[in-house]
A and B are shown apart, each in its own frame.
Chain A
Amino acid sequence: EVQLVESGGGLVQSGGSLRLSCAASGFTFSNYWMSWVRQSPGKGLEWVANINLDGSEEYYVDSVKGRFTFSRDNAKNSLYLQMNSLRAEDSAVYYCARITCGGGTCWDYWGQGTLVTVSS
Protein backbone atom coordinates (compact mmCIF):
# COMPACT_ATOMS: atom_id res chain seq x y z
CA GLU A 1 0.00 0.00 0.00
CA VAL A 2 1.35 3.38 -1.01
CA GLN A 3 1.78 5.69 1.96
CA LEU A 4 3.09 9.23 2.28
CA VAL A 5 3.45 10.64 5.78
CA GLU A 6 4.37 14.27 6.34
CA SER A 7 5.81 15.72 9.53
CA GLY A 8 7.55 18.84 10.79
CA GLY A 9 4.76 21.37 10.64
CA GLY A 10 4.10 23.80 13.47
CA LEU A 11 3.90 27.40 14.58
CA VAL A 12 6.75 29.70 13.58
CA GLN A 13 7.25 33.43 13.63
CA SER A 14 7.46 35.47 10.46
CA GLY A 15 11.01 35.34 9.12
CA GLY A 16 11.67 32.00 10.75
CA SER A 17 12.47 28.60 9.31
CA LEU A 18 10.91 25.15 9.31
CA ARG A 19 11.83 21.83 7.74
CA LEU A 20 9.11 19.49 6.56
CA SER A 21 9.66 15.79 5.96
CA CYS A 22 7.71 13.20 4.01
CA ALA A 23 8.27 9.47 4.50
CA ALA A 24 7.25 7.29 1.56
CA SER A 25 6.52 3.57 1.52
CA GLY A 26 4.76 0.93 -0.54
CA PHE A 27 6.33 1.82 -3.90
CA THR A 28 9.72 2.22 -5.57
CA PHE A 29 10.36 5.75 -4.39
CA SER A 30 13.31 6.45 -6.68
CA ASN A 31 11.12 5.85 -9.76
CA TYR A 32 8.87 8.84 -9.16
CA TRP A 33 9.09 12.58 -9.34
CA MET A 34 7.50 14.10 -6.25
CA SER A 35 5.79 17.35 -5.31
CA TRP A 36 4.77 19.58 -2.44
CA VAL A 37 1.32 21.12 -2.74
CA ARG A 38 -0.15 23.45 -0.13
CA GLN A 39 -3.62 24.56 0.88
CA SER A 40 -4.25 27.66 2.95
CA PRO A 41 -6.97 27.26 5.60
CA GLY A 42 -10.33 27.37 3.88
CA LYS A 43 -8.71 28.08 0.55
CA GLY A 44 -7.75 26.25 -2.60
CA LEU A 45 -4.74 24.20 -3.61
CA GLU A 46 -1.42 25.63 -4.78
CA TRP A 47 1.49 23.72 -6.31
CA VAL A 48 4.73 24.56 -4.48
CA ALA A 49 7.59 22.48 -5.86
CA ASN A 50 8.70 19.43 -7.83
CA ILE A 51 11.80 17.29 -7.61
CA ASN A 52 13.11 14.81 -10.16
CA LEU A 53 14.13 11.19 -9.64
CA ASP A 54 17.61 11.72 -8.22
CA GLY A 55 17.08 15.14 -6.70
CA SER A 56 19.25 16.95 -9.24
CA GLU A 57 16.40 19.12 -10.58
CA GLU A 58 13.95 21.19 -8.61
CA TYR A 59 11.16 23.47 -9.74
CA TYR A 60 9.35 26.04 -7.60
CA VAL A 61 6.39 28.36 -7.76
CA ASP A 62 7.68 31.93 -8.07
CA SER A 63 6.47 32.96 -4.60
CA VAL A 64 8.84 30.54 -2.81
CA LYS A 65 11.89 30.69 -5.08
CA GLY A 66 15.01 31.54 -3.12
CA ARG A 67 13.30 30.77 0.20
CA PHE A 68 12.32 27.08 -0.05
CA THR A 69 14.58 24.14 -0.91
CA PHE A 70 13.20 20.75 -1.94
CA SER A 71 15.42 17.70 -1.52
CA ARG A 72 15.12 13.94 -1.36
CA ASP A 73 17.03 10.98 0.05
CA ASN A 74 16.26 7.89 -2.01
CA ALA A 75 18.13 5.67 0.45
CA LYS A 76 15.70 6.74 3.16
CA ASN A 77 12.62 7.04 0.92
CA SER A 78 12.20 10.56 2.19
CA LEU A 79 11.50 14.07 0.99
CA TYR A 80 12.38 17.32 2.68
CA LEU A 81 11.20 20.90 2.28
CA GLN A 82 13.43 23.48 3.94
CA MET A 83 11.42 26.66 4.33
CA ASN A 84 13.28 29.86 5.22
CA SER A 85 12.20 33.50 5.55
CA LEU A 86 8.66 32.36 6.19
CA ARG A 87 5.80 34.78 5.63
CA ALA A 88 2.20 34.83 6.86
CA GLU A 89 1.05 33.88 3.38
CA ASP A 90 3.02 30.62 3.64
CA SER A 91 0.59 29.42 6.32
CA ALA A 92 -1.08 26.30 4.94
CA VAL A 93 -1.42 22.56 5.10
CA TYR A 94 1.50 21.15 3.14
CA TYR A 95 0.97 17.89 1.28
CA CYS A 96 3.61 15.74 -0.35
CA ALA A 97 2.28 13.98 -3.42
CA ARG A 98 3.47 11.45 -5.98
CA ILE A 99 3.58 12.66 -9.57
CA THR A 100 2.18 10.45 -12.28
CA CYS A 101 0.28 10.69 -15.58
CA GLY A 102 1.50 11.77 -18.99
CA GLY A 103 3.96 14.60 -18.81
CA GLY A 104 4.02 14.30 -15.04
CA THR A 105 0.88 16.33 -14.78
CA CYS A 106 -1.14 14.81 -11.99
CA TRP A 107 -0.75 13.37 -8.49
CA ASP A 108 -2.11 9.94 -7.69
CA TYR A 109 -1.17 9.64 -4.01
CA TRP A 110 -1.13 12.33 -1.35
CA GLY A 111 -0.08 12.39 2.28
CA GLN A 112 -2.42 13.52 5.04
CA GLY A 113 -0.71 16.90 5.23
CA THR A 114 1.15 18.86 7.90
CA LEU A 115 0.01 22.29 9.07
CA VAL A 116 2.37 25.26 8.98
CA THR A 117 1.28 28.43 10.74
CA VAL A 118 3.36 31.57 10.39
CA SER A 119 2.56 34.26 12.93
CA SER A 120 3.22 37.88 12.19
Chain B
Amino acid sequence: QSALTQPASVSGSPGQSITISCTGTSSDVGGYNYVSWYQQHPGKAPKLMIYEVSNRPSGVSNRFSGSKSGNTASLTISGLQAEDEADYYCSSYRSSSTLYVFGTGTKVTVL
Protein backbone atom coordinates (compact mmCIF):
# COMPACT_ATOMS: atom_id res chain seq x y z
CA GLN B 1 0.00 0.00 0.00
CA SER B 2 1.28 3.54 -0.74
CA ALA B 3 2.16 5.63 2.27
CA LEU B 4 1.07 9.21 2.87
CA THR B 5 3.71 11.72 1.81
CA GLN B 6 5.56 13.77 4.43
CA PRO B 7 8.72 15.86 4.14
CA ALA B 8 11.75 13.89 5.28
CA SER B 9 12.93 16.60 7.61
CA VAL B 10 11.88 19.93 9.06
CA SER B 11 13.94 22.11 11.36
CA GLY B 12 13.51 25.25 13.40
CA SER B 13 15.04 27.26 16.18
CA PRO B 14 13.72 27.23 19.72
CA GLY B 15 10.60 29.35 20.01
CA GLN B 16 9.80 29.22 16.31
CA SER B 17 6.83 27.49 14.69
CA ILE B 18 7.10 24.68 12.18
CA THR B 19 4.53 22.87 10.07
CA ILE B 20 4.66 19.29 8.83
CA SER B 21 2.50 18.34 5.87
CA CYS B 22 0.91 14.96 5.16
CA THR B 23 -0.46 14.43 1.66
CA GLY B 24 -2.76 11.62 0.69
CA THR B 25 -5.73 11.10 -1.60
CA SER B 26 -9.49 11.37 -1.55
CA SER B 27 -9.56 7.76 -0.37
CA ASP B 28 -7.82 8.60 2.88
CA VAL B 29 -6.85 12.07 4.11
CA GLY B 30 -9.26 13.95 1.87
CA GLY B 31 -12.19 11.64 2.38
CA TYR B 32 -12.35 11.40 6.15
CA ASN B 33 -11.67 13.50 9.23
CA TYR B 34 -9.69 10.61 10.63
CA VAL B 35 -6.14 11.94 10.52
CA SER B 36 -3.95 11.44 13.56
CA TRP B 37 -0.36 12.40 14.36
CA TYR B 38 2.25 10.53 16.40
CA GLN B 39 5.53 11.64 17.95
CA GLN B 40 8.30 9.05 18.26
CA HIS B 41 11.57 9.57 20.10
CA PRO B 42 14.46 7.21 19.26
CA GLY B 43 13.93 3.74 20.67
CA LYS B 44 10.50 4.63 22.03
CA ALA B 45 6.94 3.79 21.10
CA PRO B 46 4.85 6.32 19.16
CA LYS B 47 2.80 8.79 21.19
CA LEU B 48 -0.56 10.12 20.04
CA MET B 49 -0.40 13.91 19.63
CA ILE B 50 -3.45 14.79 17.50
CA TYR B 51 -6.54 12.77 16.55
CA GLU B 52 -9.45 13.35 14.18
CA VAL B 53 -7.50 16.09 12.38
CA SER B 54 -7.35 18.69 15.14
CA ASN B 55 -8.11 17.23 18.56
CA ARG B 56 -5.48 16.99 21.28
CA PRO B 57 -5.52 14.13 23.79
CA SER B 58 -5.42 15.05 27.44
CA GLY B 59 -1.86 15.86 28.50
CA VAL B 60 -0.57 16.93 25.10
CA SER B 61 0.73 20.49 24.99
CA ASN B 62 -1.43 23.09 23.26
CA ARG B 63 1.68 24.00 21.26
CA PHE B 64 0.66 21.14 18.98
CA SER B 65 -2.21 21.75 16.56
CA GLY B 66 -3.61 20.01 13.51
CA SER B 67 -5.57 21.00 10.43
CA LYS B 68 -6.60 19.71 7.03
CA SER B 69 -7.28 21.15 3.60
CA GLY B 70 -8.31 18.86 0.80
CA ASN B 71 -5.99 15.87 0.61
CA THR B 72 -3.32 17.44 2.84
CA ALA B 73 -3.22 17.45 6.61
CA SER B 74 -0.80 19.51 8.67
CA LEU B 75 0.74 19.43 12.12
CA THR B 76 2.00 22.71 13.53
CA ILE B 77 4.34 22.92 16.49
CA SER B 78 4.53 26.41 17.94
CA GLY B 79 7.09 27.65 20.44
CA LEU B 80 9.48 24.89 19.40
CA GLN B 81 11.35 23.27 22.28
CA ALA B 82 14.32 20.94 22.43
CA GLU B 83 12.09 18.10 23.64
CA ASP B 84 10.08 18.34 20.41
CA GLU B 85 13.01 16.90 18.47
CA ALA B 86 11.68 13.54 17.29
CA ASP B 87 10.14 11.73 14.35
CA TYR B 88 6.53 12.55 13.52
CA TYR B 89 4.11 10.33 11.62
CA CYS B 90 0.65 11.07 10.31
CA SER B 91 -1.95 8.36 9.90
CA SER B 92 -5.32 8.18 8.20
CA TYR B 93 -8.19 5.79 7.79
CA ARG B 94 -8.30 4.50 4.22
CA SER B 95 -11.28 3.11 2.34
CA SER B 96 -9.60 -0.05 1.15
CA SER B 97 -8.70 -3.48 2.49
CA THR B 98 -5.80 -1.72 4.19
CA LEU B 99 -7.77 0.14 6.82
CA TYR B 100 -5.05 2.51 7.94
CA VAL B 101 -2.12 4.16 6.24
CA PHE B 102 0.82 5.96 7.83
CA GLY B 103 2.93 8.77 6.51
CA THR B 104 6.55 8.38 5.50
CA GLY B 105 7.67 10.19 8.64
CA THR B 106 9.31 13.55 9.30
CA LYS B 107 12.40 14.12 11.42
CA VAL B 108 12.08 17.36 13.36
CA THR B 109 15.35 18.98 14.36
CA VAL B 110 15.58 21.82 16.85
CA LEU B 111 18.56 23.94 15.85
Q: Do A and B bind each other?
A: yes
Residue positions of A touching B, CB distance < 8 A: 37, 44-47, 50, 59, 61-62, 95, 100-103, 105-108, 110-113
CB contact under 8 A between A112 and B45, given known A44-B3, A47-B101, A47-B102 = yes
Q: How many residues of B contact A (CB 8 A)?
A: 28
- The answer to whether A47 and B97 touch across the interface, beta carbons within 8 angstroms, is no
- The answer to whether A45 and B52 touch across the interface, beta carbons within 8 angstroms, is no
Give the distance in Å from the alpha carbon of A113 to the alpha carbon of B44 in the complex. 8
Binding site secondary structure of chain A = strand
Give the distance in Å from the alpha carbon of A19 to the alpha carbon of B38 in the complex. 27
B98 contacts which of A47, A100, A112, A113 (Cβ < 8 Å)? A47
Q: Tell me, yes or no, whether B46 is within 8 Å of chain A by CB.
A: yes
- The answer to whether A44 and B105 touch across the interface, beta carbons within 8 angstroms, is yes
Q: Please indicate the chain A residues that have their CB under 8 angstroms from the CB of B92 in the complex.
A: 105
B34 contacts which of A46, A47, A102 (Cβ < 8 Å)? A102
CB contact under 8 A between A62 and B45, given known A105-B36, A106-B36 = no
